[in-house]
Amino acid sequence: MARALMLVVAHPDDDAVGIAGSIALHGHEPAFRFALVHATDGAAGLIAPEVDATPATLGALRRLEDAKAWAAHGRGPDRHEWLGYDDGRLAHVDFAELTARVGALLDEERPDVVATFGPDGVTGHPDHIAIGRATDAAFVSLALDGGPGLKRLLHWAMKESTWRRVNVARQATGLAAWDPSQVYHFRGIPDELVDIRVDTSSVAERVVAGLSEHRSQRLSLFEHPLARAAWLSATSREYFVQAWPPRGRGEPLLTDIFEGLE
């Protein structure tokens, strides 16, 4: 059965977690299509000490890291678009322009499922919030035109209960607790808002292998000796809010990003 997904994110490594496990679960299907959109190349990101890069070359390096990450993961995108905006400046881009550019790609691909950031950007990053808003607006305008695809819009989420549990573990191992008032710190959403829970434990090793290729960002991704074990645990489940069409509260959780769309 043909299934198509488009993932729209802000930076390289945004695509490494959140939905990478679901991609691995479906990646072997001959009719599965995966399109990936990056708004920026992450050129304003961190540079780990052992990485041979400068602020002038980091964007190119991060594009390469992203390609290596999907190779390590084992199922790369069938189409990969870089919108070319400046890292850290998406919130200042004309919203109509950004929405139109994402909308043009959605209209070309007409995927069944589109995934992006929710209103909190998961980490509060303004770039995450901006690309999520633009993707939401583009999706909704096209989903109502009667054309094919565009059946489900998803926001990657971290459950509040998970957020609390991880924060306890962070403090127990000497790391600072996440502060949801700070940019770059993870946010949790109320557990009851989650619509989809996917068991990705069988492919978690692949997800972490891909994540590990983002070596320039090691200081934020693997800041602690126990980080790999923590990532294996975290990537064993994926949670999503179904932003469109809305689901009624209290409905049973879906267990796959495509469940019920056949």
The per-residue pLDDT for 223 is 59
The per-residue pLDDT for 55 is 94
pLDDT above 70 for 224: no
The per-residue pLDDT for 225 is 53
Tell me the whole-structure pTM to 2 decimals.
0.94
pLDDT above 80 for 72: yes
**Pairing relationship of beta strands 237-244 and 196-199 according to DSSP bridges:** antiparallel
Tell me the per-residue pLDDT of 148-171, one tens digit each, with 9 for 90 and over: 999 999 999 988 888 788 778 778
The per-residue pLDDT for 144 is 86
pLDDT above 80 for 203: yes
Please give the Cα distance from 200 to 197 (Å, whole number).
Answer: 9
Average pLDDT over residues 172-191: 83
- In this prediction, residue 249 has a pLDDT band, given cuts at 50, 70 and 90, of confident
- In this prediction, residue 222 has a pLDDT band, given cuts at 50, 70 and 90, of low
